[in-house]
Chains A and B, each alone.
Chain A
Amino acid sequence: MAFKQISSPHGHNPQSTSWIMQLVLLSTLPGFLALSYQFGWGTFINLIIAVVTSLIAESAILALRNRPIAFYLKDYSAAVTAVLLALALPPLVPWWVVVVGSLFSIVVAKQLYGGIGYNPFNPAMVGYVVLLISFPIEMTSWVTPMSLLPEGVTHPGLWESLSIVFAGNTPVDGVTGATPLDLFKHSNGLVVDQIYQNEALFSQASFAGVGWEWVNVGFLIGGLILLKTRIFTWHGPLAMLGTLALMSILFWDGGSSDSPGSPIMHLFSGASMMGAFFILTDPVSSAVSNRGRLIYGALIGLLVYVIRAWGNYPDAMAFAVLLANFAAPFIDNYTLPRTYGHTDRRKATKKQEEE
């Protein structure tokens, strides 16, 4: 009998790309639950619209590109992009906002660059930034956290939420409000203590900001699960959170009216934890080596703080990640690990003749 000629290694560990993607999806669950608990049905509706749009868009483009559709859909990468975008969008945002964002993420940011593995920028963040620039009003009105809703007002139920999202009905007064980062952006010369006293978002908070602190804790839990299952290494997230904390300590300014906020507030507000564990860990668009990821993460942490503190936007994760995506190949060039038997690191562009 003739046996097949097969190259070594024979055998493989059971982990697959689909499984990694599914694990990422599962790990967003604590964050998703926290978002839904704090802000109502909006996130769930976002999620459904984004996933459906993304899968349709992915299939259509794969068909146009003559690629096997089922084979690529099974890698779950389109679903991950859709979920991450949906979780980043404000709840109860009109349906077409989600559709436009999903389409842009999948079609332009992912498939036009060659599909999975070839996108230089994080697709979800490209979609998010396009929406933020194009529809600033829709993108900046966040729902009020549950415990801060006025007397007698509750989050809209599923049907009411659907009518807000699809029929354009306006939610009841008091359902939308500011986020902690918004408050610091528009502090109107108040010192930090005054903000903390005046604003229920802070005065009723456990440690950072009502609602948002638990959303961030949710994403932190999900991130730690992924870290434990070794889906990614600690380098990127830790560098990002560390730099963000360091910057907010350096510029804490004793809580004066110029202070951009405390380290705890920065770490547990906005997209900090989601960004650290679910966005900048996207391997395709990040730096490749561990040392590279340290620099890449730190760069994102720095940019997030700089834009939050001195830029025009209250939060900056998407911009920071995209800017760092630009820098990733450059970082890679200088951060090759030292290989066994070599005395020093090499540069990726080093030529034989130069040595």
Chain B
Amino acid sequence: MSRTWETPGGVHPPENKSQSMTQSIGHLPIPGTLVIPLHQHIGSPSKIDVTIGQTVLKGQTLTTATHSNNLPVHASTSGTVISIDDQPVAHPSGLNAPCVTIASDGRDQWIEHVGITDFRRCGPLDLLQIITDAGIAGMGGAGFPSAIKLSPSKDKAIDTLIINATECEPYITADDAAMREKAQDLIQGIEVVCHILNDPKRVVIGIEDNKPQAIKALRPYIQESSIEIVPFPTKYPSGGEKQLIYILTGREVPSGGLPIDLGMVCLNIGTLIAIKRAVIDGEPLISRITTVTGGACGVNRNYEVLIGTPISHLLTHNEFDEKNCSRLIMGGPMMGFSLTSTDVPVVKTTNCILAPGHSEIPADTPAQACIRCGLCAEACPVSLLPQQLFWYAQAKDQERLEAHNLFDCIECGACSYVCPSNIPLVQHYRSSKGEIRKANIDKIDADNARQRFEFRKLRLEQADEQRQAKREARRLVTEQARATSNTSQPGSSAADIIAAAQQRVITKQASPEQQKAKCERALLAAQSRLQEAEKRLIEATTNGSKQQQTICSASVESARQKVDQTQYRLRELTD
């Protein structure tokens, strides 16, 4: 017998499992219409393959996977597609989602399909493709695509396969019934997975000790295999993946990590049976075992239900008494979510439909004040301090909430269950988690915006600096030039400078003809200025002052000199 470890906390709510185990797994008549949600797994949605009015066969794909993290869905029975639109689905948000509605033709005619007789001759990748094509997602609740879980990882080899047969939620018996009646399928499913994982060192079925008949049913099949069955004391929530791993191995999945980080993979009973059917029978995932139970149902029983069957169909076949129903729950009483309508369909993760009577699960009483009694901390399976989290959730102190490890809360509901003041603690944590996630997204957005702004500012500053630098460079050049012209270089005289200037002038002058023309123009201008000056001198001598006469005669003299100079230069040029 393998050793088991005990998780802290936990609660013992009334099990209420016996009432649905009085009969074997039943089958219901095919419903008139089936509503098949296109998105029943965690991951991106897939592409629709069918059109309205198209006839489909049982097992025919309705969507194709377009990415490794999405899964196809299949027609659960043969019939006609009558609509492709948004319908109410089972989701805590209560929002509608895209669905394909099929009117069944009652013939329940299968599409052609073949299984693999000897899966051991197939490579793991081929088998994983079959599992993906069959649309298999974890059927325990989260709906994570199974093939992704089983895909080989480059960092970590999987050496432990854990089969989660815990089913710790009260009322639910779907896995218990499956183990009792489909033990062989389950073992074959385990064998397929072991082959995919290249025979892990340890294969262990973790099961609560309240299912002795299931254990008995499995025993004959594991006699000669290395599969272990490890029963452990019944306590909610032992079936949480992380809790089960601790119970069976004494190891903890690191906070924020996955079982694969420990080289482990955890699969649910329903998932393994679906894998067997996909690989060995070639049947996609189109039905599952669902418990229909609760005081408002006259019959409490497990059914093999087609995916897409409306809940109302299940309820009407179970003598459902609407007046006596306090609430309608998909899943168990601890973690299941309430449905607002009976029109929603059964999906791949629907393990239970619970319709409790008014006395069974009465309406919630108003919450009293928290007296910090600590019963919640005693019940918490992950050793949080729920009373402190509640305090900080009310104060919206996100820093403290994160310091108190809010995100390690698995929302099992044990704290709310024991709270003597009836405080809906889990609801507070969910809402706080949402707020923090939103704040983090906002923070990223704000950071991006700030970065953009800062980059723009930097860019503008740089442009400005460049302009400044250019201006500065120009200024320096001019100053330097000024400096060179001002300071007389040693050994140079005014005559040299003039000669240099004349040299520059000469080099600037393009041709002798041009120089001559220029000179002629200059002579004309000088002559006209001389005439002007002589005219002014005559005026000044007749009626001007002495001073004016002097100025005018001086300008006449300079103009005459200019004319002489130009005439002289012109002669030089013409010679």
A3 B255 Cβ-Cβ under 8 A? no
User: What is the minimal beta-carbon distance from A288 to any residue of chain B, in angstroms?
Assistant: 6
**Which of B404, B420, B427 has a CB less than 8 Å from the CB of A20?**
B420
Q: Which of A4, A12, A342 has the most CB of B within 10 A?
A: A12
Q: Is the CB of B417 within 8 A of A341?
A: no
Q: B426 interface residue, CB < 8 Å from A?
A: yes
- Complex CA gap A10/B368 in Å reads 17
- Identify the closest chain B residue to A231 (Cβ): B373
In the complex the two chains form, is B361's CB within 8 Å of A10's CB? yes
Among residues 407 to 455 in chain B, which have CB atoms less than 8 Å away from a CB atom of chain A? Answer: 408, 411, 413-414, 416-422, 424, 426-427, 430
- In the complex the two chains form, what is the Cα distance from A2 to B336 in whole Å? 17
Interface contact B403-A340, CB-CB below 8 Å: no
**Residue A351 lies at the interface, judged by CB distance under 8 Å to chain B:** yes
> Which residue of the partner chain A has the closest CB to B392?
A348
With A8-B336, A339-B255 as contacts: A116 and B371 at CB distance below 8 Å: yes
Chain B contact residues, majority secondary structure: loop
Stretch at the interface among A82-90, A100-108, A153-161, A330-338: A330-338
Q: Complex formed: what's the CA distance from A332 to B377 in Å? A: 13
Which of chain A's residues have a CB closer than 8 A to the CB of B414?
9
**CB–CB B383/A7 < 8 A:** no
Q: Is B327 within 8 A of A8, CB to CB?
A: no
Is A294 located at the chain interface by the 8 A CB criterion?
no
Q: Are B340 and A7 in contact (CB under 8 A)?
A: no
Please state if A13 and B253 are interface contacts (CB–CB under 8 Å).
no
Contact B388 A288 (CB under 8 A): yes
Contact-residue size bin, chain B (C-beta under 8 Å from the other chain): 35 or more
Q: Is A19 part of the binding interface, using a Cβ–Cβ cutoff of 8 Å? A: yes
Contact of A340 among B242, B335, B339, B427 (CB under 8 A): B242
A3 to B296, CA, bound (A): 13
B189-211 CB contact bits vs A (8 Å, 1 = yes)? 00000000000000000000000
In the complex, A283 has a CB within 8 A of chain B: yes
- A352 near B402: Cβ-Cβ < 8 Å: yes
In the bound complex, residues from chain B placing their C-beta under 8 Å from that of A20 are: 371, 373, 420
Does B94 make an interface contact (CB < 8 A)?
Answer: yes
Report if A3-B417 is in contact (Cβ < 8 Å); known contacts: A8-B426, A13-B11.
Answer: no
- Beyond A7-B430, A9-B335, A352-B399, whether A339 also contacts B373 by CB under 8 A is no
Question: Are A16 and B422 in touch, CB under 8 angstroms?
Answer: yes
User: Are B382 and A339 within 8 A (Cβ)?
Assistant: yes
Interface centre among B340, B399, B403, B416, by most A CB within 10 Å?
B403
What is the 8 Å Cβ interface bit string for chain B, positions 368-392, against chain A (1 contact, 0 not)? 1111111101100111110110000
Contact A340/B246 with A2-B341, A10-B356 known, Cβ cut-off 8 Å: yes
B366 at interface, CB cutoff 8 A:
yes
Chain A residue with minimal CB distance to B427?
A: A7
With A17-B371, A283-B372, A348-B400 as contacts: A1 and B322 at CB distance below 8 Å = yes
- A175 CB to nearest B CB, Å: 39
Q: 8 Å CB contacts to B: which residues of A218-248? A: 230-233
Q: Which of A115-164 contact B (CB under 8 A)?
A: 115-118
Q: A4-B338, A9-B334, A10-B338 are in contact. Are A342 and B420 (CB under 8 A)?
A: no
- Chain A residues, Cβ within 8 Å of B253: 340-341
Is the Cβ of B327 less than 8 Å from the Cβ of A3?
yes
A192 to chain B, nearest CB (A): 40
Collect the chain B residues with CB atoms within 8 Å of residue A342's CB: 255, 405, 408
Complex Cα distance, B378 from A233, in Å, reads 9
Inter-chain contact B252/A340, CB cutoff 8 Å:
yes
Given contacts A5-B338, A7-B427, A15-B420, contact A340 B381 (CB under 8 A): yes
Please provide the chain A residues from 1 to 42 with a CB less than 8 Å away from any CB of chain B in the complex: 1-13, 15-20
List the B side residues contacting A337 at CB < 8 Å: 377, 383-385
Interface residues of A in 264-298 (CB under 8 A from B): 283-284, 286, 288-290
A346 at the interface (CB under 8 A from B): yes
Q: In chain A, residues 74-117, which have Cβ atoms closer than 8 Å to a Cβ of chain B?
A: 75, 77, 115-117
Smallest CB gap from B388: residue in A: A288
Q: Does A65 have its Cβ within 8 Å of any Cβ on chain B? A: no
Contact with B along A154-183 (1 / 0, CB 8 A): 000000000000000000000000000000
Interface residue B257 (Cβ < 8 Å from any Cβ of A):
yes
Pairwise interchain contact B340-A3, C-beta atoms closer than 8 A: yes
The answer to whether the Cβ of A350 comes within 8 Å of any Cβ in the partner chain is yes
For the complex, is B254 an interface residue (Cβ under 8 Å from A)? yes
Given known A-B contacts A339-B255, A339-B384, A341-B382, A13 and B418 have beta carbons under 8 A apart: yes
A71 located at the interface, meaning its Cβ lies under 8 Å from any Cβ of chain B in the complex: yes
Q: Pick 18 A–B contacts, CB within 8 A, sort by A.
A: A1-B342, A5-B340, A6-B327, A6-B364, A7-B338, A7-B426, A8-B426, A9-B417, A12-B416, A12-B417, A17-B371, A17-B421, A20-B371, A230-B378, A339-B408, A340-B252, A340-B383, A341-B252
Q: Name 4 extra pairs, CB < 8 A, besides A8-B329, A340-B382.
A: A10-B333, A15-B375, A20-B371, A288-B374
Chain A contact residues, CB within 8 Å of chain B = 1-13, 15-20, 71, 75, 77, 115-118, 230-233, 283-284, 286, 288-290, 332, 336-342, 346-352
